[in-house]
Amino acid sequence: MAHAATTHAHGHGHDHGHDEHDSGSKTTLGFWIYLMSDCLIFATLFATFGVLANATAGGPGARQLFELPYVLGETLLLLASSVTFGMAMLSLHAQRRAQVIVWLAITFAFGAGFVGMEVNEFAKLIADGAGPHTSAYLSAYFTLVGTHGLHVTAGLLWIAIMMHQTWKFGLNGAIRRRLACLSLFWHFLDLVWICVFTFVYLRGML
């Protein structure tokens, strides 16, 4: 009977571990599906912007509207945040909880700086009479860049939540999976912004 109880306990433990593994796999798969849907959204926005790139209605275009050094500063902030997030993941693999939190905090600061610069850019454009209602080109611009900015803002909220959870619960399996998904999301936003910088700003200046 003792042997049967032991066998049952081992079986139960194995089933519990198997359930956790299945749950983690489903979480990762679900997040990849979400990222693919986000890719479709941004692809649609890029295509729309491409079609409307010359629809300025006689108003200002990229050369008159944007300051490339300013946008380059935004880009460097986001690229730096991607590097610091990579450092957070290296600390995660090394099981260094305090370092994970520190690197996430630095990533948050860089990301917040990027959002702040973007909001300032939007405010300046609107104040100069170049709001989204001015032309189809600017409508497409504000929609594309604004959608990316909203995603970065959501990422900042997620980073703040993960800093709290990491501090409270440590680096258990669930935290590791969530941080891995967040890493994918953050690097995805970095990649999208490189496309925005190239397609919207650099191309517009040529």
Q: What residue segments make up the domains of the chain, in order of their start? A: 33-205
Single pTM value for the model? 0.87
**Distance between CA atoms of residues 178 and 150, nearest Å:** 20
pLDDT of residue 24: 66
Average pLDDT over residues 95-113: 98
pLDDT at residue 16 above 80?
no
Q: Are the beta carbons of 59 and 138 closer than 8 angstroms?
A: yes
Q: Which of 90, 82, 93, 95 is nearest to 159 (CA)?
A: 82
pLDDT of residue 27: 79
Helical spans, DSSP H, in 53-135? 62-65, 68-93, 97-127
Confidence of residue 20 (pLDDT cuts 50, 70, 90): low
pLDDT of residue 161: 98
Domain topology for 33-205: Four Helix Bundle (Hemerythrin (Met), subunit A) (1.20.120)
Q: What proportion of the chain, given as a percentage, has pLDDT over 90?
A: 82
SS3 67: coil
pLDDT at residue 107 above 70?
yes
Confidence of residue 197 (pLDDT cuts 50, 70, 90): very high
Average pLDDT of the chain, as a whole number: 90
Lowest mean pLDDT segment, chosen from 62-66, 109-113, 162-166, 190-194: 62-66
